[in-house]
């Protein structure tokens, strides 16, 4: 009888150890997946911004028109915090599609334009780090 009770105590200790190890592995996996989500978020920001960063520098009028189209598409599908404002040739603070269309029509294919990103979203949240403001100036 004494040996049976010792065997039960040993079996209980082994089961408890297995339970503790399994819990540790579960917590480790949860923590690792949380850091992977941060990496995914950073990759999304980089992918989004790459669309607009490709236009930075000196571009021709045709590329400037393509940039405005990309900004218009972005602003149609993004909420206010993810929209991009343009300080352009025809005015500043251009955000709605009608004003951006007017801006696009001012670009001449043979002219040169200087494009720069002037602001990124700084508020915490889903769109932190996204491009929010660009400047387009005509080069002489």
Residues 51-85: tens digit of each pLDDT: 999 999 999 999 999 999 999 999 998 877 788 99
Alpha-carbon distance of 78 to 12, in angstroms, equals 57
Give pTM, 2 decimals: 0.69
- Predicted local distance difference test score (pLDDT) of residue 37: 47
Q: Which domain holds residue 76?
A: 2-138
pLDDT by residue for the chain (140 residues), tens digit each?
788 889 999 999 999 999 999 999 998 888 776 554 455 578 888 999 999 999 999 999 999 999 999 999 999 988 777 889 999 888 888 888 889 999 999 999 999 999 999 999 888 878 888 999 999 999 87
User: 106, 118, 104: which is closest to 56 by C-alpha?
Assistant: 118
Residue 136 sits at φ, ψ, to 5 deg, of -125, 120
Considering its fold, how many domains does the chain have in total? 1
């Amino acid at each position: 009888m004494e040996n049976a009770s010792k065997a039960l105590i040993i079996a209980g200790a082994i089961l408890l150890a297995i339970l503790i190890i399994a819990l540790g592995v579960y917590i480790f996996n949860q923590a690792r997946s949380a850091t992977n989500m941060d990496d995914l978020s950073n990759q999304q920001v980089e992918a989004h911004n790459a669309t607009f960063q490709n236009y930075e520098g000196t571009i021709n009028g045709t590329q400037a028109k393509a940039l405005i189209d990309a900004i218009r598409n972005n602003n149609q599908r993004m909420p206010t915090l993810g929209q991009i404002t343009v300080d352009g040739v025809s005015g500043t603070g251009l955000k709605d599609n009608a004003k951006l269309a007017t801006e696009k029509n001012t670009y001449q294919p043979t002219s040169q334009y200087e494009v720069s990103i002037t602001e990124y979203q700084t508020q915490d949240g889903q769109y932190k780090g996204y491009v929010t403001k660009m400047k387009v100036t005509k080069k002489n």
